[in-house]
Amino acid sequence: MIKVLVNGAGGKMGSEVVRSVVQEEGLILVGGVDPKDSGRDIGDLVGIEKKGIIVEHQLSDALKNSKPEVVVDFTSPAIIYENAKMVLGAGINMVIGTTGLTAAQRDDLAQICTETGANCLIAPNFSLGAVLLMKVSTEIVKYLPNVEIVELHHNHKLDAPSGTAKLTAEKMAAARVLEPDADETIESLSGVRGGRYENIPIHSIRLPGYVAHQEVLFGGYGEILTLRHDSLDRKSFMPGVMLACKKVMTTKGLVYGLENYLE
């Protein structure tokens, strides 16, 4: 049984992870962290039977008290880097679903993994469907280089664009072999054409009612091709998270993107 601690256990994603770990064969929940809900039984916190596990206020205390083999982190972009340095620095494996880490920070964390022997997966999206959308997009862009991304999330998401959109753009930019047509549009309102990442426009929508959605739009001569993925419930991310908790035990070093665990 792999011992799992959930950081951000009281959040929408964290609570779903807690419920899934409890039911997953081969995993055992040993701890949870959430400053807003510390002192509560983790079962009460997520709406299941009591587990006899008290939610801790500090990650450092939880690491000492529960001695996990894997920490799953769904917290905040503002604290994820420090969280990761603490966990990986202690030689503990980590699955990171919190977005906001820069490329330089990922490099720093990879170096910590090398030094301590800890393993880490950083995944902007744990949905298998979203991962497949990225994979297909890298094939299509070889032939249809004119592409834009629209990503839609709930209005409480803390970052824009989404990590999924950025990773999709990175992968398509690396795979693109033909130059896209020039964008001759002149903005009469600054930013209306979206932001550019890896020279690919990304448009971020933030509205109540959405969960996580992404469209990749390809334009050709006399034709368009649109790929769309919709996560309608946070349960859609759980098979990927459970897979990651198991594979991070044996997949060496730091890995960026769940698709690398599927190969």
Please answer whether residues 97 and 257 qualify as being in contact, where contact means their C-beta atoms are separated by less than 8 angstroms. Answer: no
Taking the C-alpha atoms of residue 11 and residue 55, their distance in angstroms, rounded to an integer, is 12
Q: How far is CA 64 from CA 4, 34, 167, 169, in A?
A: 13, 16, 34, 39
Q: How far is CA 115 from CA 68, 154, 248, in A?
A: 19, 38, 17
Strands 27-33 and 2-7: parallel
| Residues with catalytic function | 153, 157
Strands 200-206 and 195-197: antiparallel
Please answer whether residues 94 and 87 qualify as being in contact, where contact means their C-beta atoms are separated by less than 8 angstroms. Answer: yes
